Homo-oligomer: A and B are copies of this chain.
């Protein structure tokens, strides 16, 4: 058994059964090993950002890692932006990165680079295999590292000679490490803070605390104490919709976020840190929580936030309290000119129960979000790390993880251009994804940001850097060039018709919404 075979068999014995891949010469032995491993699915992406974004979407939905297969330093570099997002989403992920054979490295061949150096800034855990036999051990360790609660990025660097040399053996999976529990004294402190607040209270939720069960517990606490529920601006996986407990999403602009928080005297954070401004702006504060408020960290992202919430319910004696549930609703506004709110309203009307929405809608996504609050139960996946272009790749991974659920990619045009290759993978794998391109011909958010950082009178050269016009991108045509049937909609009525068409098919479809 060669090193590659032992590594892949080890990963499979750990329960890893999907590999998103863009291999090159130095990974051919790993391709062969996957080929020979019954039950290990491989999914090709035509650019590494598709590969790593897909692994992020997969990990968020499966709560277990997919593997990726990347080609040396440049391949890892190409995947790093969405590895960054995945890390910020606490997604479990295992990257396998080929490197030159150990004895070839010192020749400094053209593709030689510091692969570990490329991996380190975006990975939580990096390890280079030391021998063919060590490769499988590294795989088992990477699997364990990827599952350090609630999820980490583990990267294994695979020298080509370790992959192709014999004498390797399958390694044992490591025992799962339990999620770190919050101390009883911290639970008591949070209960005390909510019981004795000197004014309005909020329970601020993030990370694993925005899944259905935790939200239910949060709803019980809210009903028992009067605390308001707020969720972080960008959640990795927010479970929402009619019949679930809803939280108010913290707005993106720092000023608006600070306005939402300003009157609270007590804020209990669960599953995340206190929020900060996404960027700094001249003369505007980075820290958003009100001065003088009692800020209590019930659980960080790295602790067992769901268990902490459940314990807080018990501490408050709220176990029998009925929380307020989100009522069903879908606004009727599907006539006239198309805009992001109408897109959200139409989505709320048409999306099936249990859908998964990969939202990289940027400015348009913010508008669509509240309109879908009362849609049938669904999961909403957001851009946690700010690197644009993940919307369609994350949809790919979610669809691979959940083949029985409809996936909807709500994709802004600017980010969509980063990784349009994801459409090809949707077609090849016949993934059940409806992509909605929010085509406003602009990095719209930057037109806002330009003013917010203090640029008062931008000239044509500056504005042209924020524009996707001249030429306009024909998204429906682009999708069809990669095998995804597509329609273009310029009115609300056309959009509704196109979305009905797309959702009624099991398989990839794209709707270009011109807004």
A binding-site residues for B, Cβ under 8 Å: 21, 23-26, 28-29, 31-32, 34-36, 42, 44, 46-47, 49, 72-75, 77-78, 80-81, 84-85, 88, 100-101, 103-104, 107-111, 113-114, 117-118, 120-122, 160-161, 164, 234, 273, 276-280, 282, 286-287, 384-387, 389, 414, 417-418, 420-421, 424, 427-428, 445-446, 449-450, 452-455, 458-459, 461-462, 464-468, 470-475, 477-478, 480-483
Contact = CB atoms under 8 A, between A and B. Distances in A.
Contact of A280 (B160, B234, B414, B475): B160
A424 B160 contact: no
Nearest to A474: B481
B446 A23 contact: yes
A424 B117 contact: no
Nearest to A279: B25
- A84, A273, A278 — most chain B CB neighbours (10 Å): A84
B84 A44 contact: no
B280 A103 contact: yes
B462 A110 contact: no
A100 B480 CA distance: 39
B47 A418 contact: yes
Contacts of A465: 21, 23, 31, 34, 42, 44
A109 B277 contact: yes
Contacts of A427: 471
Contact of A74 (B278, B280, B386, B428): B386
Nearest to A21: B465
B78 A74 contact: no
A103 B85 CA distance: 22
Contacts of A100: 279-280
B280 A471 contact: no
How many protomers of this protein does the assembly include? 2
Given A101-B280, A110-B234, A387-B74, A42 B421 contact: no
Given A32-B455, A470-B428, A109 B74 contact: no
28 contacts: A24-B449, A25-B445, A26-B279, A28-B453, A34-B461, A34-B465, A35-B458, A35-B462, A42-B461, A42-B464, A44-B467, A73-B121, A75-B81, A80-B118, A100-B280, A101-B280, A103-B286, A104-B286, A109-B276, A109-B277, A110-B234, A110-B386, A118-B121, A118-B122, A418-B421, A478-B478, A478-B481, A478-B482
A461 B110 CA distance: 29
Given A104-B277, A113-B122, A117-B120, A462 B34 contact: yes
B32 A468 contact: no
Contacts of A462: 31-32, 34-35
Nearest to A287: B107
Contacts of A25: 278-279, 445-446, 449, 452-453
Contacts of A478: 477-478, 481-482
A98 to B, nearest CB: 10
Contact of A475 (B467, B468, B481): B481
Given A164-B282, A164-B454, A478-B481, 7 more contacts: A24-B449, A25-B278, A31-B466, A35-B458, A74-B387, A75-B81, A80-B80
Contacts of A417: 46-47, 421, 424
B424 A473 contact: yes
Contact of A81 (B78, B279, B386): B78
Contacts of A234: 110
B34 A455 contact: no
Contacts of A84: 73-74, 77, 113
Contact of A481 (B49, B121, B473): B473
Nearest to A467: B44
A479 to B, nearest CB: 8
Contact of A455 (B29, B78, B101): B29
A473 B474 CA distance: 16
Contacts of A278: 25, 109-111
A113 B82 CA distance: 13
Contacts of A481: 473-475, 477-478, 481
Contacts of A466: 31
A48 B21 CA distance: 21
Nearest to A477: B481
A111 B386 contact: yes
A183 to B, nearest CB: 23
Given A104-B280, A455-B29, A46 B110 contact: no
A302 B470 CA distance: 42
Given A73-B84, A111-B385, A480-B474, A160 B453 contact: yes
A475 B483 CA distance: 11
B35 A459 contact: yes
Contacts of A287: 107
